Structure 1
Amino acid sequence: MEIARRFKENPIVVNAIASHHEDQPPTSLISVLVCAADSISGARPGARRDTLDGYIRRIESLEKVADSFDLVSKAYAISAGREVRVIVQPEKVSDTDADLLVSEIAKKIQSDLEYPGQIKVTVIRESKAVSYA
């Protein structure tokens, strides 16, 4: 903030810098938008003061919750823990079972873990046949 003042930055910019950490109240729409953008940015997993160990523990616990279901072959937490992809064996899981399973996993994640924002849960039930001639 002092640097902005020293170089005679516009007062709106100086206020946006000062108000985004609540040092001063916002006096313009730009200051309010900067505060909102800072809040949104800081809500991302791992954005602030997140140690590598904490991040790894959170990812592992997310995968562990999904893996705890019998029908799950493997679960992968991706996108910094904002999504879990769950692989199931297609011969053991019907489409109806997959719909029920994805809901159960989401409920268990919601009840067992604390996390910012939403976590997308996807159950993948895929069968492939490949041949070469």
Structure 2
Amino acid sequence: MALSEEEQRRLEQLEALLTEDDPKLANTLRGTSRPVTVDGKRLAISIVGFVLGIALLVVGMQWGWFISVIGFVAMFASAAWFVLGRGGDDAPDREPTGPTSYSPTGSRRSGGDSSSAFMDKLEERWKRRQDEGR
């Protein structure tokens, strides 16, 4: 089903707002985001650590439970080091706006002037849409 001109115009406005608010998400939805790359050295070290952890886990079953615990910790640490270490490019571009507080109505708001500016912007857009609909 084809979109009407009004629907197409609204869709383009939504796309522009999304690109303005969160360009990384917009690129992901368009399919133009960068491919994930894996650091070969980090992968190799993680695999070796994981295999050594498995070996300690198995050896610990024969010699003592504390060696198995050390093996499990080594496996977990090597896997976590690999997964968490590749977050350099995936980290969000925005900085935190401040502590999060809760309003008496139960809604969650971020501290600082940025949240009030954001809410003002949303209210302005809402009023404009209501006026256009009349």
TM-score of the alignment, normalized to the shorter chain, above 0.5: no
**Greater relative contact order (Cα 8 A, min sep 6): structure 1 or 2?**
1
Q: Under a length normalisation based on structure 1, what TM-score does the superposition of the two structures give?
A: 0.35
Q: Under a length normalisation based on structure 2, what TM-score does the superposition of the two structures give?
A: 0.35
